[in-house]
């Protein structure tokens, strides 16, 4: 398992589908990470949203439910990209964005004519959606699980083609913006619950001048969100080294005004950082260091997520990353194995090359080597991954390692 894995708030999937559920249906939410699922729990229809790391557990839950006669629906990234695997364990699956087809699926379930596959409309008009049912998540908090921030998604879709990312394939390449009212209502719910906001899956908003202008307008709107004594606060925004290096001053200033605490910065996904750490390209290394220094100059911390095991990475990549972290004076970092997640371009390439040797989905969690690397052995990559964690935090015994991504298995 990853070192000190952070069990953060649930993803938005179930909350969004719950918002699209007709009022005549009763909705109940269970987070299997917090309260192990009881297969004897009475329900007419169980819906699981499934990320790849949680798929092993999700398929187990589905088998238990179906054994007692409960209908099971699966949605999310895993069923979208590996539908045949999911269908072996579910009565129906939803591929792609589910809100548009969910009412139809419920109608079919009531009528006893559930279909095996439902494909989300592409691209879904997100301006027609209701705000997510975050109240379900707030109500499920307990003593051992009280996240201090919750996700807010400003747009869907991404025009980029990162080898390790499945979002453009599942959500499309067209950027679609939620309405201001949707964002205002969602943010106000988070503030009213005494939580902070983190912006998720929105790195595409920083890719062009037009997108940045739209994003700044959204940040300006957030200034007026909240109630007396409870202003909106941004905990972090996920982005990349490349985007930070080219981010304009005005957007940095908006982040400062809203009290942004941290950028969660991915490295090893884009061409610049892959050249920097995999090939030791001095120019690319300077770009990466400049990006970190720009954040620090605006009073914003950075937590860098380093991906290792890319095709460019030889055995020298580990020491190169540690030297960069020292030079950049990083206080927080995480290290991830370049896992070929199903549906990504890397998955397709590695499958064609016969590199993938492990299909145990719970091991697809950035902490296990499930493929044969290009320039080192699988065992050397595993050792180097552990070496990074140990060496970086050797003199930081009290550091808190936050992992925004977490395994999730949820029932509706």
pLDDT confidence of residue 336: 96
Q: Are residues 111 and 214 in the same domain?
A: no
Beta bridge partners of 240: 266
Same domain, yes or no: 175 and 80: no
> Quick one: 285 and 245 in the same domain?
yes
Domain that holds residue 135: 126-404
Predicted pLDDT at 330: 93
The set of residues, in sequence order, having a beta carbon less than 8 Å from that of 291 and lying 6+ positions away, is 241, 242, 244, 245, 265
pLDDT at 38 over 70: yes
1 domain-assigned: no
Beta-carbon neighbour count of residue 311 at 10 Å?
A: 14
6 versus 89: the higher-pLDDT residue is 89
Question: What CATH number does the domain containing 229 carry?
Answer: 3.80.30.20
Same domain, 317 and 399: yes
4 inside domain: no
- Smallest Cα–Cα separation from 218: which of 190, 252, 178? 178
What is the SS3 assignment for the chain?
A: CCCCCCCCCCCCHHHHHHHCCCCCCCCCCEECCCCCCCCCCCCCEEEEEECHHHHHHHHHHHHHHHHCCCEEEEECHHHHHCHHHHHCCCCEEEECCCCCCHHHHHHHHHHCCCCCEEECCCCCCHHHCCCCCHHHHHHCCECCECCCEEEECCEECCCCCCCCCCHHHHHCCCCEECCHHHHHHHHHHHHHCCCEEEECCCHHHHCCHHHHHHHHHHHHHHCCCEECCEECCEEEEEEEHHHHHCCCHHHHHHHHHCCCCEEEEEECCCHHHHHHHHCCCHHHHHHHHHHHHHHHHCCCEEEEEEEECCCCCCCCHHHHHHHHHHHCCCCEEEEEECCCCCCCHHHHHHHHHCCECCCCHHHCCCCCCCECCCCCCHHHHHHHHHHHHHHHCCCCCCCCCCCCCCCCEEEC
Residues 6+ apart with CB under 8 A from 260: 234, 235, 236, 237, 300
> In terms of domains, do 109 and 143 share one?
no
> Is 50 exceeded by the pLDDT of residue 404?
no
The average pLDDT across 336-363 equals 97
Q: Of 93, 119, 145, which marks where a domain is finished?
A: 119
When pLDDT is cut at 50, 70 and 90, the band that residue 410 belongs to is very low
| Of residues 318, 305, 295, 293, the one with CA closest to residue 269 | 305
How far, in Å, are 144, 170, 224 from residue 121 at the CA level? Answer: 38, 11, 33
What per-residue confidence (pLDDT) applies to 240?
Answer: 87
In a domain, 374, yes or no: yes
Q: What is the pLDDT of the chain when averaged over all its residues?
A: 88
Q: Per-residue pLDDT for 107 more than 60?
A: yes
In a domain? residue 97:
yes
CA dist., res. 318 & res. 100, Å (int): 45
Last residue of a domain, one of 75, 98, 119: 119
pLDDT of residue 283: 94
Total of domains in the chain: 2
In 3D, which of 270, 392, 378, 377 has the Cα closest to residue 319?
392
Asked whether residue 411 is assigned to any structural domain, the reply reads no
- Whether 259 is in a domain gets the answer yes
Q: Which residues pair with 71 in a beta bridge?
A: 45
pLDDT for the residue numbered 167: 87
The band of 402, judged by pLDDT with boundaries at 50, 70 and 90, is very low
Higher pLDDT pick, 154 / 356: 356
Nearest of 237, 238, 241, 242 to residue 259 by alpha carbon: 237
pTM, to two decimals: 0.89
What's the whole-number mean pLDDT along residues 161-168? 88
Question: From the centroid of its chain, how far is CA 100?
Answer: 21
Residues 238, 338 share a domain:
yes
Q: Which of 2-16, 159-173, 175-189 has the lowest mean pLDDT?
A: 2-16
Q: Is 154 in the same domain as 220?
A: yes
Say if residue 68's pLDDT is above 80. Answer: yes
Assess whether 133 and 176 both reside in one domain: yes
Judge if 192 and 251 occupy the same domain: yes
CATH code at position 79? 3.40.50.280
**Phi, psi for residue 359 in degrees, rounded to 5:** -120, 25
Segment 214-272, tens digit of pLDDT: 888 888 888 877 665 567 788 888 888 888 888 888 888 888 888 888 899 999 988 89
Whether 410 maps to a domain, the answer reads: no
Q: Is residue 3 part of a domain?
A: no
| Pairing, β 196-199 against β 149-152 | parallel
**Of 71, 95, 119, at which residue does a domain stop?**
119
């Amino acid at each position: 398992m990853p070192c000190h894995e952070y069990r953060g708030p649930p993803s938005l999937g179930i909350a969004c589908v719950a918002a699209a559920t007709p009022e005549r249906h009763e909705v109940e939410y269970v987070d299997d990470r917090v309260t192990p699922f009881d297969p004897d729990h009475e329900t007419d229809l169980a819906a699981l949203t499934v990320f790849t790391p949680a798929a092993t557990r999700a398929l187990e839950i589905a088998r238990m439910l179906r054994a007692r006669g409960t209908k099971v629906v699966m949605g999310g990234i895993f069923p979208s990209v590996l539908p045949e695997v999911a269908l072996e364990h579910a009565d129906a699956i939803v591929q792609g964005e589910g809100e548009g087809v969910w009412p139809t699926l419920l109608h079919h379930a009531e009528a006893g004519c559930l279909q095996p596959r439902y494909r989300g409309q592409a691209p879904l008009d997100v301006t027609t959606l209701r705000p997510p049912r975050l109240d379900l998540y707030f109500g499920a908090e307990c003593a051992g699980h009280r996240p201090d921030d919750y996700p807010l998604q400003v747009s869907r879709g991404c025009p980029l083609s990162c080898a390790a990312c499945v979002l453009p394939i599942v959500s499309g390449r067209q950027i679609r913006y939620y309405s201001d009212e949707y964002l205002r209502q969602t943010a106000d719910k988070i503030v009213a619950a005494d939580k902070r906001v983190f912006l998720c899956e929105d790195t595409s908003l920083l890719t062009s001048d037009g997108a940045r202008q739209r994003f700044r307008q959204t940040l300006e709107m957030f200034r007026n969100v909240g109630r007396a004594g409870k202003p909106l606060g941004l905990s972090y925004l996920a982005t990349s080294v490349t985007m930070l290096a080219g981010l304009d001053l005005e957007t940095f200033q908006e982040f400062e005004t809203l009290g942004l605490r941290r950028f969660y910065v991915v490295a090893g996904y884009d061409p610049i950082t892959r050249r920097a750490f995999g090939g030791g390209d001095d120019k690319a290394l300077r770009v990466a260091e400049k990006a970190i220094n720009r954040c620090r100059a605006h009073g914003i911390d950075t937590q860098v997520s380093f991906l290792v095991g890319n095709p460019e990475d030889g055995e020298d990549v580990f020491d190169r990353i540690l030297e960069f972290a020292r030079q950049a004076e990083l206080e927080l970092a995480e290290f991830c194995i370049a896992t070929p997640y199903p549906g990504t371009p890397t998955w397709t390439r590695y499958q064609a090359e016969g590199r993938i040797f492990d299909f145990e989905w719970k091991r697809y969690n950035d902490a296990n080597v499930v493929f044969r690397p290009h320039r080192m052995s699988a065992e050397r990559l595993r050792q180097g991954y552990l070496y990074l964690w140990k060496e970086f935090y050797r003199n930081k015994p009290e550091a808190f390692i936050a992992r925004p991504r977490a395994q999730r298995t949820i029932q509706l």
